[in-house]
């Protein structure tokens, strides 16, 4: 796809640092306090804080991933366990295949574009912070849905959904920008869920309970022809 055919700005991938900067706001104070307590003779409390600092650094890790699938392949937008593979009715786009992924606090929380496309809309909704595996969370939790339009006109929706612990959704792209498949574009802090809505005729390549890796696992295939 050429820049001319894209007819819009190209998104600059971010975050790209090996460890996201947010980590240091949590890990720095905890690690410093932990080290101080160990020196002052409180080894168990200090060790706990140092361990928490290490957890924060691990949580905000941001590995480089590569995917070499075909044009119809959809890549997983997040690391985690597949919670749902079913047909749903999207308010804006109608019926389609939905694949939901649950991210535990031990998974990488950086989100990646499932397909190559232009951002058509970014919509926020919801007001609650239910557990990510609670069915009500799909409709009621704070969420951000980004619609990507591929060059052939097909649309794919990727939705970041908060969970019981998650309180912040980060989504860097703007409407009109083009994203490459697998490109890193945002994250959700501390436990969450990411859903993908695909057009009718799409075929899932995973099933409920499978583990997936964002930017590396083939999640589904789009139909050969545009409906």
Q: Which CATH architecture has domain 3-15+66-221?
A: Distorted Sandwich (2.70)
SS3 180: coil
Total-model pTM? 0.89
Rounded to an integer, what is the distance from CA 13 to the centroid of its chain? 14
Q: What is the pLDDT of residue 120?
A: 96
Q: First vs last Cα of the chain: how many Å apart?
A: 21
Instruction: Determine how many CB atoms are found less than 10 A away from the CB of residue 190.
Output: 17
SS3 47: helix
* 17/67 Cα distance (integer angstroms): 19
Just list the catalytic residues. Answer: 192
Q: What is the pLDDT of residue 166?
A: 66
Q: What is the pLDDT of residue 26?
A: 87
* 194/135 Cα distance (integer angstroms): 13
Domain boundaries, the chain: 3-15+66-221, 22-59
The whole-number mean pLDDT for each consecutive block of 10 residues of the chain, a chain of 227 residues, reads 60 94 90 93 92 91 91 95 90 87 91 97 85 73 92 94 80 96 91 90 96 96 82
Element (H, E) at 5: helix 3-6
SS3 192: strand
């Amino acid at each position: 796809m050429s820049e001319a055919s894209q007819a819009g700005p190209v998104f600059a991938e971010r975050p790209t640092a090996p460890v996201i900067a947010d980590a240091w706001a949590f890990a720095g104070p905890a690690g410093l306090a932990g080290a101080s307590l160990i020196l002052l003779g409180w080894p168990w409390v200090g060790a706990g804080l140092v361990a928490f600092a290490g957890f924060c650094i691990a949580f905000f890790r941001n590995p480089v991933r590569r995917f070499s699938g075909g044009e119809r392949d959809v890549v997983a937008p997040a690391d985690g366990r597949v919670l749902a593979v079913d047909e749903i009715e999207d308010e804006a786009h109608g019926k389609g295949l939905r694949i939901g992924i649950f991210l535990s606090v031990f998974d990488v929380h950086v989100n990646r574009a499932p397909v190559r496309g232009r951002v058509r809309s970014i919509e926020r909704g919801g007001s609650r912070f239910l557990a990510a595996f609670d069915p009500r969370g799909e409709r009621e939790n704070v969420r951000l849905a980004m619609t990507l339009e591929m060059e052939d006109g097909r649309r794919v929706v990727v939705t970041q959904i908060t969970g019981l612990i998650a309180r912040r959704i980060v989504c860097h792209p703007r409407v009109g920008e083009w994203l490459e498949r697998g490109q890193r574009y945002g994250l959700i802090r501390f436990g969450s869920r990411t859903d993908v809505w695909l057009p009718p005729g799409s075929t899932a390549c995973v099933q409920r309970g499978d583990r997936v890796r964002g930017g590396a696992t083939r999640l589904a295939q789009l139909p050969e022809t545009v409906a």
